[in-house]
Structure formats: structure tokens, C-alpha cells
Amino acid sequence: MENSKRRFLKGTCALLAGASGATLLATVSASNEAKADPSVKYALIHDETKCIGCKACEVACRETNHVPEGVARLKIEQTGPYGEYPNQFYHFSRKSCQHCEDAPCVNVCPTGAAFIDKETGIVSVDAWKCVGCQYCIAACPYKIRFINPVTHAADKCDFCRETNLAQGKQPACVAACPTKALVFGNLKDPTSQVVQVLKANPTQRAKVDLGTRPKLFRIVAKSGEVAI
């Protein structure tokens, strides 16, 4: 059943490819606009000053979301060491979907497989609608999408929308972090921890000049936070 749906969508895509680019983009854009303005807007903060690079978040993500080896929804990247021995330190930064409010991956997807969930603002993927064209992978300025070798669909972090979040739990990475370096919550709730932390700390987001309005925030590490 699933394969026949995908075959149908692939056939439809081939027809759409014959249509003018302007018509296609207008259709896709209109469908995305209908999904705008979520009542809940989830965001994540990575507090790099608390991150010790243990990668428990990566492991928890893989286990919870059944992410196969060789690909990853979340990576902790290490840079350094900085400074002079014995006062050296590393920095750790998170690489994962930014849950853009104006998401290039959604804007280019010809089948609606890449979408913004109107209930949560989470950018997600309907695997059965995905035809593997990889337009979204090319369009993502953060280079975090991949083709899942098991499902053969585009894949990426979805804040555990279909796993932990659906069960009323925090995303797996957040729950697993031993230092509370990850804070997840609703930007539209002024009492949420995520809003409180954002109010109390200077934060940065990646490539904001592109107009993507990312919802992954960083509290940037200061020198000497993680000593070796």
C-alpha cells in the first residue's frame, strides 16, 4: 500500500516537473501558507556553557527514533583544544534541524512530504509522501537533512514529535542530557522555561540573515568552560 502511494506520488511529481516552475512554486507556496501560524511554537536552546560533549543526546535520539547507523538527526561537534596546556578547553556545538519558521525545505518539496505541523510549529516529514527527490536536502541551508537508508525517505530531527512528544515526554536528547544543557518548550507560553531562559541570557541563532527564522538557539560557550 505504502509503495503504491509512493509510486503514485512519483508519477505526479513527473507530471509536475513538466509544468512551469512558476506554477509549481505558486502551488507549493500556497499550500505552505495554509499551514502557517501555529498555536504552539516549540523551540530548543543548547546552552554550550553547560555542554560537556558527552553525546548522551546523540545516543538517546538514535535509540528513541530508530535512526540507523551511518546517519544522524543530531550531532555534537567538538572544536579545540583552545588555550595553552594545562589550561586547555574544548567547545561543543549542536548540529540539527533549526525548525525554521520560513523553511526552505518545505518551500521546495513538490509532494507536501516536508511540512510544518500547524499544531506545534515543528518542521516534519511524512515519510510515505516522500519520493526521495532530495530537493529539500539541497535547499536546507543548515545541511542537516539526509535520506534514511531504511525508509528511503528524507529524515531529520522532529523534536521527537512522533515518539516522546506524542507520549507527553520531553524530546529524547533533552531528557538524556546530564547537565541540563538543553531546554525545550513553547515560545508562545510566557511562563515556559524556554522563554525564561531566553529572557535571561544572550543567545544566537545560525544564518538569521537568510530570513529562515530558526528556532534553535545557542547560549554561546565562553573560553575555559570545559577544561581538560
Query: Applying CB under 6 A, which residues contact ligand SF4?
Result: 51-57, 76, 92, 97-100, 103-105, 108-109, 111, 113-114, 123, 125, 130-136, 140, 142, 144-145, 154, 156, 176-177, 179, 181-182, 212
Handedness of CA 116, 118, 121, 126 (dihedral sign): negative
Torsion of the alpha carbons at 210, 137, 143 and 185, rounded to the nearest 10: 70
| Cell reading at 97 | 534541524
From the CB of 46, what's the least distance to ligand SF4, in Å? 6
* DSSP states along 148-174: -TTT-SEE---TTTTTTGGGTPPPHHH
Work out how close the CB of 51 gets to ligand SF4 at its nearest, in angstroms, rounded to a whole number: 3
The Cα 194–Cα 189 span in angstroms is 9
Contact 179, 67 (CB under 8 A): no
Least separation in angstroms between residue 128's CB and ligand SF4 is: 10
Find the shortest distance in angstroms from Cβ 15 to ligand SF4: 14
- Min separation Cβ 68 and ligand SF4, Å: 17
Q: Cβ 53 to ligand SF4, closest distance in Å?
A: 5
**C-alpha dist (Å) from residue 4 to 10, 18, 97:** 10, 22, 29
Vertex 118 angle, CA 4 and 147, to 5°: 45
**For cell 499544531, what's the residue?**
119
Nearer to ligand SF4, 113 or 160 (CB): 113
Q: Are strands 74-82 and 216-219 parallel, antiparallel or unpaired?
A: unpaired
Q: Which of 97, 164, 146, 149 is nearest to 124 (CA)?
A: 97
